[in-house]
C-alpha cells in the first residue's frame, strides 16, 4: 500500500511518506515529543507559531476542556523563530521528517525576513503563514479580508521562499472569509497550498463560580471533533477551486476521519486537539489508517482523493 503524497513546490514537488501531520499550537516545538514516539513515522511535523519577538503565556487560565474538545488562550507564548532555528532545529530529525513552522508578524517585511531565515536554515521544509495574525498596519485591512491584498502579499512571500521551502497560506476561521476566494488568491500570489482551518472563537462558563473558565477576556480558541462537519464542508469547497495542495484540518480524530477528508479532496491532514489525548496517539492512528485503507481495498491515496459523490435519493 502506498500512503505517499506528492505536493507542488514552486516549479517542482515534494513527497510526504503519508498524509498525517501535526498542527501548529498542539505539538510544542516538536522536540518535546522526541521521547514519546518515533516522530519520523509522520508525514510532517509543525512547531508552535512564531512571532518576530519572544512572548510569555497569558497569566489567566490558558486551557480548559469543553464539549468535544478544548479551549485555549495561550497568548504570545513561544520563543522567536531565530532561537528555534539556533537551539531546537539542530536536535530534530529534519532529514527524516519534514519540519514546518507557522509564522505571524505585524508587517509584510517581517514575514519576508522570517521566510528568508527558514530558507537559510537549510533544514526547514515549509512555512505556514497564519491568517489569524494579519500583516496589515493600522490604516490597512487585514490581508485575508481582501483577495487582491492576499495575492499581492503572497507574491512577496513567494519571492522570499525562492522555491526552496514549501509556502502555505493558513486560513483564519472567520465568518467574513470565503474560503474559495482565500485559496484562489493565495495561489495566484504563489502559495504552494492552503491549510484550511484554524481554531474558532469559543467560551465556557462555570455556573457554580459564575465565571468564564478560559482566557483573560473569557474567550479562547475552540478545537475539537465538534467542528469536523464544518471543516469537512470547507475542504470540499476549497478542493473545487484549488490547483495546489489542500491541507485539511479541524476535528479530525480517527483514521476514518482522515479517509473522509481525503475523499473530500485533501492531500494532507493536520491533527491537533485529538493528538493531545494521549502520547501514543499518532502511532496508533497511523496503524489504524493502514488497516482502514487495507479494509477498503485502497492501494494508493490517489485512488480516493476527491472521490466522494452525491447519491441520488432512492426511488419511492
Any idea which of 9-13, 57-61, 148-152, 163-167 has the lowest mean pLDDT?
57-61
180-233: pLDDT as tens digits = 999 999 999 999 999 999 888 889 998 999 998 887 788 888 888 899 999 999
Mean of per-residue pLDDT scores for the chain: 90
75-99: pLDDT as tens digits = 666 789 999 999 999 999 999 999 9
Q: Does the pLDDT of residue 136 top 60, yes or no?
A: no
Largest CA distance in the chain: 67
Provide the CA 118 distance to its chain's centre, in angstroms: 17
Q: Own/partner pairs for 6-12, CB < 8 Å, 24+ apart?
A: 7/166, 7/192, 7/193, 7/244, 7/245, 7/267, 7/268, 8/192, 8/193, 8/244, 8/245, 9/163, 9/165, 9/166, 9/192, 10/161, 10/162, 10/163, 10/164, 10/192, 11/163, 12/163
With a CB cutoff of 8 Å and minimum separation 6, the contacts of 141 are 149
Length of the chain: 316
Residue 91: Cβ-neighbour burial (10 angstroms; 0-12, 13-18, 19+): exposed
Q: How many Cα atoms within 13 Å fall on the side-chain side of residue 245?
A: 30
- In the chain, what are the domains? 5-57+76-201+224-303 (3.20.20.70)
19-53: pLDDT as tens digits = 999 999 889 999 999 999 999 999 999 998 898 88
Tell me how crowded residue 266 is: count the other CB atoms within 10 A of its CB.
Answer: 29
At residue 159, the pLDDT reads: 96
Q: Indicate the pLDDT class of residue 54, thresholds 50, 70 and 90.
A: confident
Amino acid at each position: 500500500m502506498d500512503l505517499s503524497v506528492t505536493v507542488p513546490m514552486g516549479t517542482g514537488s515534494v513527497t510526504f511518506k503519508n498524509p498525517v501531520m501535526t498542527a501548529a499550537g498542539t505539538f510544542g516545538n516538536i522536540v518535546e515529543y522526541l521521547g514519546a514516539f518515533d516522530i519520523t513515522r509522520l508525514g510532517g511535523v509543525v512547531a508552535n507559531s512564531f512571532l518576530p519577538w519572544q512572548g510569555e503565556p497569558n497569566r489567566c487560565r490558558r486551557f480548559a476542556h469543553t464539549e468535544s474538545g478544548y479551549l485555549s488562550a495561550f497568548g504570545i507564548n513561544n520563543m522567536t523563530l531565530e532561537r528555534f532555528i539556533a537551539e531546537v532545529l539542530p536536535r530534530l530529525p529534519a532529514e527524516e521528517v519534514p519540519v514546518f513552522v507557522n509564522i505571524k508578524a505585524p508587517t509584510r517585511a517581517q514575514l519576508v525576513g522570517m521566510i528568508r531565515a527558514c530558507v537559510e536554515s537549510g533544514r526547514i521544509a515549509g512555512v505556514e503563514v497564519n491568517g489569524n495574525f494579519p500583516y496589515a498596519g493600522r490604516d490597512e485591512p487585514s490581508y485575508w479580508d481582501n483577495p487582491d491584498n492576499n495575492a499581492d502579499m503572497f507574491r512577496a512571500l513567494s519571492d522570499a521562499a525562492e522555491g526552496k521551502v514549501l509556502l502555505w497560506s493558513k486560513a483564519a476561521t472567520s465568518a467574513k472569509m470565503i474560503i474559495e476566494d482565500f485559496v484562489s488568491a493565495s495561489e495566484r500570489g504563489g502559495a504552494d497550498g492552503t491549510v484550511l482551518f484554524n481554531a474558532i472563537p469559543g467560551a465556557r462558563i462555570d455556573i457554580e463560580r459564575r465565571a468564564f473558565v478560559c482566557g483573560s477576556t473569557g474567550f479562547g480558541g475552540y478545537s475539537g471533533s465538534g467542528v469536523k462537519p464544518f471543516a469537512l464542508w470547507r475542504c470540499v469547497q476549497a478542493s473545487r477551486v484549488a490547483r495546489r495542495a489542500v491541507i485539511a484540518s479541524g476535528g479530525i480524530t480517527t483514521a476514518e476521519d482522515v479517509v473522509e477528508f481525503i475523499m473530500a479532496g485533501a492531500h494532507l491532514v493536520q491533527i491537533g486537539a485529538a493528538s493531545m489525548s494521549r502520547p501514543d496517539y499518532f502511532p496508533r492512528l497511523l496503524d489504524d489508517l493502514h488497516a482502514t485503507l487495507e479494509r477498503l481495498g485502497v492501494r494508493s491515496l490517489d485512488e480516493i482523493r476527491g472521490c466522494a459523490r452525491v447519491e441520488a435519493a432512492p426511488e419511492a
